[in-house]
Amino acid sequence: MAKLEQTVSDERPQLGPNGLDEAVFLIAPNPGQPLKPLNKIASGGEMSRIMLALKSIFAEIDRVPVLVFDEVDTGVSGRAAQAIAEKMSALADRCQVFAITHLPQVACMADHHYEIIKTMKGGQTSTSVRPLAGQTRVEELARMLGGVEVTEKTRHHAQEMLDLAHRQKGA
């Protein structure tokens, strides 16, 4: 069996009648970079985004009915966050997609939006889920945009994001 170092070089193991004992996924995350083992160079967020890309490609073949992405947008913002949101929205045409996110670019593209609320009482943590729609959704997106203090400008921006997402999805 070839060692990992050989796999990364030009001396790749040959597939035999019994297959290979080990598979290594090689990627070049940026143009001009050499191929490197995915498990050595990708962060958790990058792994999630690679999984999103793979699931987008294979969605019609594997027909998995439900996908869950936990903070697939970690470490990105702006256009990259929008691209992730668009991929997940397109994927949701083929299966049910759940996404845990802190980015308004991703949240505004969702067909349904929920707030997860954690509270402490008597030394115990409890979690509840609240569906968001209409003005409560605008308020949550505005909070995601502006932080603690929600202003009329952040509310307006949140509503504009929802309107743009609605138009983009053709709904």
pLDDT of residue 29: 76
Q: Please give the chain's pLDDT, 171 residues, in tens.
A: 344 444 454 566 777 788 777 778 888 877 898 898 988 888 777 787 888 888 888 877 888 899 888 888 888 888 889 999 999 999 999 899 999 999 999 999 999 999 999 999 999 999 999 999 999 999 999 999 998 899 999 999 999 999 999 999 986
pTM: 0.73
Identify residue 39 by its one-letter amino acid code: N
Helices and strands in the chain, H and E counts = 7, 6
Which residues make up the CATH 3.40.50.300 domain(s) of the chain? 43-111
Positive/negative CA dihedral, 54, 55, 59, 61 = positive
Residue 107: Cβ-neighbour burial (10 angstroms; 0-12, 13-18, 19+): buried
pLDDT of residue 2: 42
Q: Rounded CA gap, 20 and 77, in Å? A: 39
What is the architecture of the domain spanning 43-111?
3-Layer(aba) Sandwich (3.40)
Q: Rounded CA gap, 23 and 12, in Å? A: 11
Identify residue 143 by its one-letter amino acid code: R
CA 158 to each of CA 118, 125, 135: distance values in angstroms, whole numbers, following the listed order: 23, 30, 10
pLDDT of residue 3: 44
Which of 95, 89, 57, 93 is CA-nearest to residue 72? 89
In b/e form, how buried is each residue of 30-50, taking b as 16+ CB within 10 angstroms? eeeeeebeeeeebeebbebbb
